[in-house]
Each structure stands twice: as structure tokens, then as C-alpha cells.
């Protein structure tokens, strides 16, 4: 098989790429990276010295592709399917990229700050940083609530790279920092996301690892069972 995705089932940025792959039924081999295993970590570092996941390896084109947005654009260029991840219109492409970055930087990143702080060694927690991350999420949630008015997906009627970024970030963020009660557009959008087949499949594959999620006790029961 030409494509190998180096990833981990509990990593939100890996979910983002998996959703894009599943949307277009792109064949690939999944390689789980275990950073606690020197051999597994070395195999990743050989391909991408930064050591971040996911990383896509395309043996057919002898190309290693890091970074989620670049991976998804690479897939659209070389392994296209029925669901374009980037709109054809230039301005709409810019909007999709913008909202992809908003979901990455202002949802997924602060979510990770909150989640990882819970498992830091005693005495090394960062309450100021966590409070700042929660403020960032509040701002992002309000922006998303406005953006989604009258829309099915982040960009309108078409599912795009922005929604691939939104789904995992909002999934984990909504557990660690729930939406406000009046954010009806955001809540309805979240329900559409988790009902979409590509996202349901991604979450189902991650389910065995949810026991290791630091906010496991707050995860809704519906996501813990088939």
C-alpha cells in the first residue's frame, strides 16, 4: 500500500487527517506511534525529525508529508475523491484555510493545554496557563457560534478541511470546557459532526483509548459504547 499514516488513536490532530482520509475512502496503512517505545519513536523520527504526529508517507511518490493541513491538501492533489477538502473558488479556499487554523489554534491547542495540565507532575501545574486557555476557548466558541448561523458546516453546505479540524478539537474541548448554554448553533453543529460517518468511524477506533483521556470521567457515556 502506497500510503502510511503515522499517528496515534487518541491524538486530535491525527483524527483530523483520518477524517479526511475516510471522507474520500483513500486506502492507507495506519502505523501507531508509541513514543514510549524507542523503536517506534525512532521510526517516526527517521521520517520527520521534529517528532510530531501525524506524518504521511507516500512510497509511490517517495514523499514524506508532515503537518495536518499540508497532508490534507496533498491528499486532495494526489488522491482526490468525491468530497473536496478545499473549495474550488479562491476566496472560499482562503476562508476554509482560515477556519481550519481557527479550529486548530484556538480550539485544539488550548484544549490540549487544559488536558495535559491535569497529568503534569504534582507541583508543576500551570493554573495561569489553564485559565488563559479557557478564556481562549470561550472566545473561539463565541466566534464559531456566530460563524455557524444559517450554515450546515463551517463553510456552508459543503464539508471541508475546516470541519476536519473542527471535529476532534470540539470533541475533546467540549469535555474539558463545555459550551455555554446559549450556544445553540455550536451545539447543533457538534451533533452534526459526531453523526457524520467519517467522524463516527474515527471516534469508534479511538474508543479503546478513551480510558487514558485525562478527563475520562467527564466524557459522555454515549461516546464510550457502541
197: closest CA among 75, 22, 30, 68?
A: 22
* pLDDT value of residue 68: 98
Query: How much is the pTM?
Result: 0.96
Give the mean model confidence (pLDDT) for residues 85-108: 97
What local confidence, expressed as pLDDT, does residue 1 receive?
A: 63
Domains of the chain by start residue, with CATH: 3-78 (3.40.30.10), 90-223 (1.20.1050.10)
Summarised one tens digit per residue, pLDDT across range 126-158 is: 999 999 999 999 999 999 999 999 999 999 999
pLDDT tens by residue, 9-29: 999 999 999 999 999 999 999
Looking up cell 524507542 gives 38
Using omega within 30 degrees of 0 as the cis cutoff, is the peptide bond preceding 59 cis?
Answer: no
> Would you say residue 226 has pLDDT above 80?
no
Q: List the one residue out of 141, 217, 145 whose CA is nearest residue 176.
A: 217
What pLDDT sits at residue 37?
Answer: 86
The pLDDT of residue 83 is: 97
Q: What is the pLDDT of residue 225?
A: 86
Amino acid at each position: 500500500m502506497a500510503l502510511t499514516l503515522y499517528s496515534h488513536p487518541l491524538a486530535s490532530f491525527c483524527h483530523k487527517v483520518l477524517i479526511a482520509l475516510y471522507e474520500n475512502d483513500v486506502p492507507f496503512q495506519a502505523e501507531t506511534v508509541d513514543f514510549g517505545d524507542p523503536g517506534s519513536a525512532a521510526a517516526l523520527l527517521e521520517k520527520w525529525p521534529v517528532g510530531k504526529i501525524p506524518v504521511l508517507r507516500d512510497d509511490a511518490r517517495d514523499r514524506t508529508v508532515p503537518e495536518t493541513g499540508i497532508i490534507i491538501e496533498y491528499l486532495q492533489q494526489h488522491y482526490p475523491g468525491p468530497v473536496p477538502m478545499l473549495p474550488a473558488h479562491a476566496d472560499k479556499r482562503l476562508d476554509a484555510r482560515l477556519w481550519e487554523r481557527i479550529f486548530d489554534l484556538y480550539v485544539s491547542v488550548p484544549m490540549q493545554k487544559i488536558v495535559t495540565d491535569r497529568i503534569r507532575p504534582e507541583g508543576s501545574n500551570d493554573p495561569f496557563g489553564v485559565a488563559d486557555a479557557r478564556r481562549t476557548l470561550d472566545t473561539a466558541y463565541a466566534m464559531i457560534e456566530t460563524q455557524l448561523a444559517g450554515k450546515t458546516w463551517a463553510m456552508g453546505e459543503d464539508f471541508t478541511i475546516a470541519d476536519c479540524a473542527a471535529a476532534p478539537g470540539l470533541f475533546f474541548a467540549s469535555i474539558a470546557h463545555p459550551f455555554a448554554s446559549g450556544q445553540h448553533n455550536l451545539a447543533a453543529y457538534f451533533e452534526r459532526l459526531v453523526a457524520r460517518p467519517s467522524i463516527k468511524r474515527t471516534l469508534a477506533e479511538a474508543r479503546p483509548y478513551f480510558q487514558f483521556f485525562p478527563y475520562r470521567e467527564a466524557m459522555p457515556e454515549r461516546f464510550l459504547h457502541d
